[in-house]
Amino acid sequence: MKKTKIVATIGPASNSKEVLGELVKSGMNVCRINFSHGDHESNGKVFAIVKELRMELKRPIGILADLQGPRVRIAIDKELEITEGEIIRVSDPKSFPNFQFPISNFQSNPNDPISKIFFVDNDNVIDGIEVGNEILVEDGLKKVKVIKKEKEFLEAEVLVGGIIKNHKGVNIPDAKFNFGAVTVKDEKDLEFAIKNEADFVALSFVSNAAEIIETREKMKKILGREDFLPQIVSKIERKEAINNLDEIIEATDVVMVARGDLGIELEESKVVLYQKEIIKKCLQKAKPVIVATQMMDSMIVNPIPTRAEVSDVSNAVIDHTDAVMLSGESANGKYPVKTVTMMNKIVVDTESSPYDDVNEGNFNQNTLTDYMAIINSACDLLKNSDSKAIVIFTQSGFTARLISNHRFEKLMIVATNNSLTYNQLSIVWGARAYLLKEEEFNDKFTDSILEKCKNENKLKIGDKVVVVKDKSGKGVLPTIGIKEVK
């Protein structure tokens, strides 16, 4: 069985119960619902189907609600052609409050030598841009550079020309925006996702730790509690996020290397280097990390991947990512099940090789607490004994994430009595999760779990296991020991 988890985006090609069930059986651990598409009715159906499948298949399936975030887009009513070397203007709704967007009746001054202007759909964009900043349109296929800033507009020189079309995405890598953590649309989607019991909420275009903290406070207010919240997945896709990477990793629960926009905002040749840096830093901080975007992109239309795509997935596994993700391949591609099946095979083959063995230098050795000392002792015991597995009881999943970070080849069994934690373990590398019933939540839980594993042929009579009981919620340190399967 694979240890690296698979996240698959759900869309028109995969939102039926039949296909979703096949995706789970083929290796999907987390389904991503992209709130940039669909509406609450269609997305709500996916929530309902996944909950049914959890019960029927008796396994954890994570639900990741991906908020659209402050995406800036073109707002014009007709196409605009721009050519290299030409001087044009750029503006936003705040600068022209009397116009209906997309602009349909804008007339420039007939005596003005600059006759071309395009608008973006987000207020305050002009405020955040400075002279010298580049504005990239449609994944950087068109590019202009700001040469002058006025109150109502920017003047810019066209570096790469082409046709500017309505609603295409806009990236401004060096701009300093103050959009806040979530937009008005995101607020509604966040409340909907939480009330439908999402396990993870992804924040798009994260810039700093304050945005993560703000979102977590919103969650607490919606749920009316301080703990057992959906985990926040911070998507690293802006230049500003790279500059604030350490504080973002510290504040978030999970990190996503969102290579699509990251490859637009930064030099494409450096994206893989940032990917490796982000994964390493997440390992040091015991934060799960997802590698995403275009991993099997050709399988949107082809039944087999390119060799480069196979290498891409394999290298992410070798880098020790917790999860790899599919986007359009599973959402609207021709072969969603084949794609997950192929990704699963690549992961398994890579994990069975010696190339994904862990370098202990990846881990942060500076955390010298009593809690960590006990966890490290459990890991040493597993590594240096003839134990076949480690069995962890945890309420929050924190202990499991710490132990997972060691990337042991041996079986890692995690038991919890909390359903949210159970499904959140779907993103944690190597975790085989079991949900305990309340009547099993006692000092004999180990016997119950070992009996289940024995019946599933994961363990056999006589096997020894390291047992870690995390009573962190009760104010005491975890305990460790060794037990034999009876």
The residues assigned a catalytic role are 32, 73, 235, 293
49 is written with which tokens? 């189907």
C-alpha–C-alpha distance, residues 87 and 118, integer Å: 12
Structure tokens at 76: 């014009």
Cross-strand bridge partners of residue 154? 90, 149
Sign of the alpha-carbon torsion through 51, 56, 62, 63: negative
- Tell me, what DSSP letter sits at residue 304? S
CA 401 vs CA 187, 335, 412, 431, 450: distances in Å: 29, 33, 11, 9, 21
Paired with 432 in beta bridges are 413
Structure tokens at 172: 């401004």
The three-class DSSP label of residue 64 is strand
Classify each residue of 174-195 as buried b or exposed e, where b means 16 or more C-beta atoms within 10 Å of its C-beta: ebebebebbbeebeebbebbbe
- Angstrom distances, CA of residue 142 to CA of 88, 239, 432: 13, 19, 47
DSSP code string of 30-99: EEEEETTSS-HHHHHHHHHHHHHHHHHHTS--EEEEE---S-EEB-BSS-EEE-TT-EEEEE-GGG-TTS
Q: How long a stretch of residues is the chain?
A: 486
Count other C-beta atoms under 10 Å from residue 306's C-beta.
Answer: 13
Distances (CA, A) of 165 to 104, 169, 284, 302: 14, 10, 43, 28
Give the closest residue to 426 by CA, choosing from 271, 265, 254, 168: 254
Closest-CA residue to 347 (of 325, 364, 378): 325
Helix 184-195 vs helix 209-223: angle between axes, to the nearest 10 degrees? Answer: 50
Q: Are 156 and 170 in contact (CB under 8 A)?
A: no
| Radius of gyration over every alpha carbon of the chain, rounded to an integer in angstroms | 24
Helix (H, G, I), strand (E, B) or coil at 75: coil
Residues paired with residue 411 on neighbouring β-strands, in sequence order:
389
Between strands 464-469 and 479-484, the pairing is antiparallel
